[in-house]
Structure 1
Amino acid sequence: MHVMDQLWVVGGAAYAMVLGGAIGFERELKNRPAGFRTHMLVAGASSLLIGMGQLAVLDPRFHLPFLINMDPMRLVEAVVAGVSFIGAGTIFASRGGKDIAGITTAASLLMVAVIGASTGLRYHLLAFASAVLTLLVLVVLNFAESKFGIKPTPTDAKDDSASPTQEHDRDG
């Protein structure tokens, strides 16, 4: 395997980590369960896994007649499955079952995994645009929700008149 090909994969992982870090920094500022470092590592790992898959597809050692050819999209599936476990760990329910927190952070971890996969596949513009869109959702929509009173306040969540099955995303 050529060294330059491997350096491209490392460069893509670094780029993914920068993009993931921008999203993680926003989560860090809001004191969420997964922040700057976690988002960077998820994006970088995702990019590396996809990049390694691409290198393996090109590697002549894996093209022997008795070996099965590899499908790079299966690596994307593996990344999503792995990130699902991390994301599940960021979701918390209150004892009363009325509030659920961490869903937005779990979704942002999934997004940085997809951004990492995009860089691993060398779709750098797609990764950048996805990071910008994610930040817009996290920052601009949160601002709009709080400005226009769309999101319930913490005192609303403790209101006993709320139905037991009502869910509030406290992760904004």
Structure 2
Amino acid sequence: MTLVDLLGLLLPVFGSVVAGGLIGLEREWRGRAAGFRTHILVCLASALLMQAAMMQGDWAFEALPNENIVTDPTRMAHGVLTGIGFLCAGVIFRTGFSIHGLTTAASLWITSAIGILFGAGLYALGALGTAVTVLILVGLRLVSARLPTRSVIDAVVCWPRDAADVAEAVERVLNDMDGAARSDRFELVDEGRLVRRSWRLTVKGQADLKALADSLGGLPDVTAYALDPRDD
């Protein structure tokens, strides 16, 4: 590999680092586990692997005599996008009945795709993909912030098994907040001493969420509760 070849690698490497950084910066600002550095590494790795596939003529192997070697870089792209699925699965997790991390997983997947574009030399398409991705992550977040806030939350409430009429009191509080609150799970925990039930309901904002927390905390027989907003 000559110096000219190395200089030719600067643009895909630099482009992939910038693209991954721009996308990861939004996830870092949102406090997600896969943030700035993770997105840069995903994009850079994709670009480097794609560049390696594009330069198979420089690989250290000897072809058989009188054999014509035909390379297919798209196989590397397929392998990268398949492999990134394992990393994306690692950022998706479940809390109660809520699934978190889908947006971060999608951003990792498209970051890998953008890295492949830079590695294949499709710089304009990679830059366009980066701009549209950042616009979706940042711009649509600003748009949604101006819309009337409605959050779906999972509410988990515990009370002693022998306490009377607690279920009705809890359901009354939840229905006052959202008449369509739906019960999801019934459990006995703490060796059968406590009842734990889960509901899914919608609140209009932080004020309603705090009011709900105060109302549940004010019930004398409630021993514990958790209100988990669903947010990617």
Interval of TM-score (by shorter of Structure 1 and Structure 2): 0.7 to 0.9
1:100, 1:13 → 2: CA distance? 34
User: What is the match of residue 117 of structure 1?
Assistant: 116
Counterpart residue type for residue 134 of structure 2: L
Root-mean-square deviation (Å) = 2.5
* Higher-strand-fraction structure: 2
1:22, 1:129 → 2: CA distance? 13
Shift of 1:70: 2.4
In the TM superposition, 1:12-91 aligns within 5 A as 12-57=12-57, 64=64, 65-66=66-67, 69-91=70-92
1:40, 1:7 → 2: CA distance? 20
* Higher-helix-fraction structure: 1
Question: In structure 1, the residue corresponding to 2:27 is in which secondary structure?
Answer: helix
**C-alpha spacing 1:125/1:62, structure 2 compared with 1 (3 Å):** farther
Counterpart residue type for residue 90 of structure 1: V
2:110, 2:33 → 1: CA distance? 16
* Matched-pair contact (CA < 8 Å) for 2:154–2:230: no
State the Cα deviation string for residues 64-111 of structure 1 (Å, max 9, x = none): 5457532100100111112111111011111x2x21111101110111
User: What is the match of residue 210 of structure 2?
Assistant: none
Q: Which has the larger radius of gyration?
A: 2
Q: After alignment, is 66-75 or 139-148 more displaced?
A: 66-75
2:230, 2:74 → 1: CA distance? 32
Unmatched runs of 5 consecutive residues or more in structure 2: 156-173, 175-180, 185-199, 201-228
Shift of 1:130: 0.4
1:149, 1:111 → 2: CA distance? 29
* Matched-pair contact (CA < 8 Å) for 2:34–2:91: yes
1:170 aligns with 2:217: no
State the Cα deviation string for residues 11-62 of structure 1 (Å, max 9, x = none): 3122101111011001000001100000000000000000011111466956
Give the alignment's TM-score, normalised by structure 1: 0.83
* Matched-pair contact (CA < 8 Å) for 1:45–1:116: yes
User: What is the match of residue 139 of structure 2?
Assistant: 140
**How many percent identity over aligned positions?**
34
Give the alignment's TM-score, normalised by structure 2: 0.63
